[in-house]
Amino acid sequence: MSVVLSNSFLPVMESFYTLQGEGFYQGHAAYFIRLGGCDVGCVWCDVKESWNAAAHPMISIQQIVATAIQSVPPNVAKPLVVVTGGEPLMHNLLLLTQQLQQAGFATNIETSGSSPLSGNWNWICLSPKKFKAPLPEVVPQANELKVVIFNKHDFAWAETYAQQVAPNCKLYLQPEWDKAAEITPLIVSYIQQNPKWQLSLQIHKYIQVP
């Protein structure tokens, strides 16, 4: 799959104003920009339609930012924007983040870390995947490590990345959605024994918002 290198246009699958459902900013109002394109290929991915960048319209960064401004209530002092995918780092995000920050947004990214880091970020959520490992230079820059637990062997795998992130990085374990009934009790038990970790739930799916 080709990587889009243009600074001025990006493939946008969807964008919407909602609540962040996962991780450190769980429950916070946030404007999401979901970019098309992913070369990680998680078998349990719930947005596989995002994988093919060519399937989504190329939109100018100027228009992306203008739509974001129009979508957020004007009384919000520093609105949160979350750039996700797909794998957003398949694209050069420097210009996007510069213009979002100039417009007053706090810029967050959700990434597997498998492509080089680009952009100016107020918060980096690293969610490493076994299907394509994160780049070693990306891992220490994470503000938040969010590991999706699919089976009991993933706990040991999560610990390998907990040892590589910065000391102040927030640590989250999140059950894979389709196995949540089985996996969540295992995560609860694991966190009780390893309280450096916290539980992340996809609350947006429970309350049925985007």
Tokens of residue 111, six digits: 């990434």
Residue 3: inside a domain, yes or no? no
- Judge whether residue 126 has pLDDT over 60: yes
- The H-assigned helical ranges of the chain are 61-71, 94-102, 154-162, 180-193, 203-206
Q: Is residue 147 part of a domain?
A: yes
The domain of 147 spans: 9-206
| pTM to 2 decimal places | 0.94
Least confident of 3-7, 115-119, 192-196: 3-7
pLDDT tens digits, one per residue of 154-178:
999 999 999 999 999 999 999 999 9
d(CA 145, CA 24): 9
Q: How far is the C-alpha of 90 from the C-alpha of 36, rounded, in Å?
A: 9
Is 72 contained in some domain? yes
How many domains is the chain built from? 1
Judge whether 2 lies within some domain.
Answer: no
Contact 112, 127 (CB under 8 A): yes
Average pLDDT of the residues in 90-94? 96
CATH number at 53 reads 3.20.20.70
In a domain, 41, yes or no: yes
> Given a cut of 80, is residue 28 above it in pLDDT?
yes
Nearest by Cα to 82 from 116, 118, 121, 114 = 121
Domain assignment of residue 4, yes or no: no
Identify the band that residue 7 occupies on the pLDDT scale cut at 50, 70 and 90. low
Phi, psi values for residue 10, rounded to 5°:
-135, 150
- pLDDT tens digits, residue range 45-91? 889 999 999 999 999 999 999 999 999 999 999 999 999 999 999 99
**149 in any annotated domain:** yes
Band (43; pLDDT cuts 50, 70, 90): confident
* Structural domain contains residue 69: yes
